[in-house]
Amino acid sequence: MKRATLTGLLFSSPFLIGFIAFTLYPIGASLVYSFTDFNMFKSPSWVGLDNYRWVFQEKDVWKSIANTLYMVLFATPISLIVGLLLAQMLNMKVRGQSIYRTLYYIPSIVPAIATSLVWMWVLNPKSGLINTALGYLGIRGPNWLLDPVWTKPSLILMGAWGAGGIMIIFLASLQDVPRSLYESAEIDGAGKVRKFFSITLPSISPIILFQLIMGLITYFQYFAQAFMLASMTNSGANQTMAGPEKSLLFYAVLLYREAFVDFRMGHASAMAWVLFLITSIVTYLIFRSSNRWVTYGGD
């Protein structure tokens, strides 16, 4: 082996060892476990495709897929739109621009658990900020946390509040839109809206593609905030973690429950690989469609 290659390998060995031990090896192991019945206390026993059959037949799995698709289809575009609009606004040359940018970014760095705790108080139907404010307008706010219809919108609200991360990346991409394009459009008499849809959007479309895929992957795996909401609105020793009428039973939450509450590792591993398949297919389809709507600079 050439000396340069050896040196390279040595330098990257900490990462390689960690990657192999903590990522590749567990992935391989979970594939095997998905074909077994394993509860961590006894040896796994081979069951073939039973676990996969269970994934496609179990009612709770389909409910969790429906819940997850709800988030994927609604929360992804909403957080992207909110992030983009915020970025547009924060791109305007006003006094205190950097202060505003900081303020709008900070919510996204608050840890998910703290966010959930704070929002549980904000969404409290009797004394929370939102319903009290709605009360001043004469509107009786909904029961955000216990009404099965409103639990997911509560989560979307939390997500929109934390759209700072998305906003920052859009903000950066907005800086790269060539000034000359805007100027020539103004000469041709284009207004703000026209400029936005015809120049801004196509120019940042590669970033939109990136954010779209990242957003989809995030919401397919949605867990922390839902888990917090479901476990905190319980009393006594309720361990179903599903929220009111299973409205908070997301795919990743059900996976966690199968793995660590019910200790059915076979089921959980099968669920994980099915999710991997679904996410890969969706990502591939989006990449395929991107030829039609993404324009890379210099075209």
Partner 1 sequence: MNAKQGRKASLLLVVVTMVAGLLSACSGSDNGNKGSASPSASASESGKPAGEKSKVSVWYLWGGAEGEALEQIIQDFNASQDKYTVEGLSVPDEQKIKVAIAGGNGPDLTDSFDWVVPQYAQQGIALPLDDLIARDGYDLSDFIPAALESGRFDDKLYSLPLNANFSIMYYNKKLLADSGYSEPPKTSKELYDVALKTTKVNGDGSIEVIGFPSYPSEGYLFNAMAHGFGSSYLSEGAKELTFNNDSTKAAMQMIYDYNTQFGVDNIRQLQAAGKWLDPTDPFLTGKQAIRFDGPWLSAHIKNMNIDVDYGIAPLPYLDGKPETAGGGLVSSSIFYIAKTSKNVDGAWEFMKYLYSPEPLAKFMSLMGNIPATKSAMAQPAMKDMVDSEQIMPLTESPNLKSIPHFAKRSDFDKLLGEELELMFNLKKTPDETMSVLEGKLAEFLK
* Footprint of partner 1 (CB under 8 A): 1-2, 5, 20, 24-29, 31-33, 39-44, 124-127, 140, 142-143, 145-148, 233, 235-240, 244-246, 260-263
Q: Could you tell me the smallest distance in angstroms from the CB atom of residue 239 to partner 1? A: 7
Six token digits for residue 189: 């008499």
For partner 1, which is the closer residue by CB, 173 or 247? 247
For partner 1, which is the closer residue by CB, 200 or 225? 225
Q: Could you tell me the smallest distance in angstroms from the CB atom of residue 24 to partner 1? A: 5
Cα gap 121→111, rounded to integer Å? 16
Cα gap 281→292, rounded to integer Å? 18
- Which residues 6+ apart lie within 8 Å of 210 measured at CB? 169
Q: Could you tell me the smallest distance in angstroms from the CB atom of residue 84 to partner 1? A: 34
For partner 1, which is the closer residue by CB, 2 or 192? 2
For partner 1, which is the closer residue by CB, 24 or 81? 24
Q: Where are the beta strands (DSSP E) in 15-74?
A: 36-37, 45-46
For partner 1, which is the closer residue by CB, 197 or 260? 260
CB 228 within 8 A of CB 111: no
Q: Could you tell me the smallest distance in angstroms from the CB atom of residue 118 to partner 1? A: 16
CA distances in angstroms from 164 to 108, 160, 202, listed in the order given: 5, 9, 22
Q: Could you tell me the smallest distance in angstroms from the CB atom of residue 109 to partner 1? A: 26
Six token digits for residue 106: 């900070």
Tell me the torsion sign for CA atoms 210, 206, 99, 196.
Answer: negative
For partner 1, which is the closer residue by CB, 32 or 81? 32
For residue 50, report the phi and psi dihedrals to the nearest 5 degrees. -55, -45
Q: Could you tell me the smallest distance in angstroms from the CB atom of residue 16 to partner 1? A: 8
